[in-house]
């Protein structure tokens, strides 16, 4: 992170990640203004690990109610319902969501067209899937230079299959500091009226 900052990278608007404490510590130290979004795919897996298999179906449906809610208020209500349904018997599973609620719902403060991309790190992780597959087969690249060349070429080839970010035209607005509430752009006059 320090090297990226030294090379001129501005603080990201949002960092999306799983429970990697080192990553979050580095973001806080180097880019303290960057907001945090916890990865729902990894979080769901962690929650299910704390529940018996007999309730996984109900828990997945309840979690989907949270992640697919129409706005933050409904998502918070779905979290309360999740806590009500599962909290008495499995408080550890419920605490995994309740304690991270703010970081799990940050995506609602960005354009609705971006939500599907912001809820998980899987799109980023999938970039490296062909690299992992190739390095597993070859038992490593041999040298650093060969490894970097191989990674570059594999990602360059994979790039042809990537989907464009939904709502890509809104990225510039986000970077310019435009404010979104429940996925909708808030005009400056609306902000003054609300104040």
Calpha distance 17→121 (Å, rounded): 6
Calpha distance 29→181 (Å, rounded): 27
Integer CA distances (angstroms), 152 to 88, 101, 156, 176, 190, in order: 50, 37, 6, 31, 46
3-class DSSP assignment, residue 87: coil
Question: Which burial class, exposed, middle or buried, applies to 133 when counting CB atoms under 10 A from its CB (0-12, 13-18, 19+)?
Answer: exposed
Closest CA to 102 of 4, 23, 14, 22: 14
pLDDT score of 176 more than 80: yes
Give the pLDDT score at 43: 95
Q: Given phi > 0 = left and psi -120 to 50 = alpha, else beta, which region is 182?
A: left
User: pLDDT over 70 for what percent of the chain?
Assistant: 90
pLDDT tens readout for residues 142-162: 788 888 888 888 888 877 777
Domain ranges of the chain: 2-106, 123-161
Give the pLDDT score at 193: 57
Give the pLDDT score at 29: 94
pLDDT tens readout for residues 55-65: 999 999 999 99
pLDDT band of residue 189 (cuts 50, 70, 90) is: low
pLDDT tens readout for residues 12-58: 999 998 877 788 899 999 999 999 999 999 999 999 999 999 999 99
DSSP code of residue 54:
G
Calpha distance 169→11 (Å, rounded): 20
**Interstrand relation of 179-181 and 184-186 (parallel, antiparallel or unpaired):** antiparallel
User: pLDDT over 90 for what percent of the chain?
Assistant: 60
């Amino acid at each position: 992170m320090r090297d990226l900052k030294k090379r001129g990278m501005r603080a990201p608007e949002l960092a999306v990640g799983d429970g990697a404490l080192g990553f979050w510590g580095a973001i806080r130290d180097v880019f303290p203004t960057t907001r945090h979004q916890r990865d729902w795919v990894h979080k769901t897996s962690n929650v299910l690990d704390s529940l018996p298999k007999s309730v996984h179906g109900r828990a997945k449906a309840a979690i989907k109610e949270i992640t697919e809610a129409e706005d933050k208020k409904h998502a918070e209500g779905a979290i309360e319902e999740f806590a009500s349904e599962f909290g008495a018997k499995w408080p550890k599973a419920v605490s995994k969501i309740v304690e991270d609620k703010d970081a799990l719902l940050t995506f609602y403060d960005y354009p609705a067209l971006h939500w599907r991309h912001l809820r998980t790190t899987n799109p980023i992780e999938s970039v490296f899937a062909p690299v992992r597959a190739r390095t597993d087969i070859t038992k490593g690249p041999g040298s650093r230079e060969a490894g970097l060349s191989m990674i570059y070429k594999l990602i360059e080839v994979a790039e042809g299959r990537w989907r464009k970010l939904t709502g890509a035209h809104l990225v510039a607005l986000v970077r310019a500091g435009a404010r979104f509430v429940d996925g909708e752009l808030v005009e400056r006059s609306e902000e003054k009226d609300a104040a």
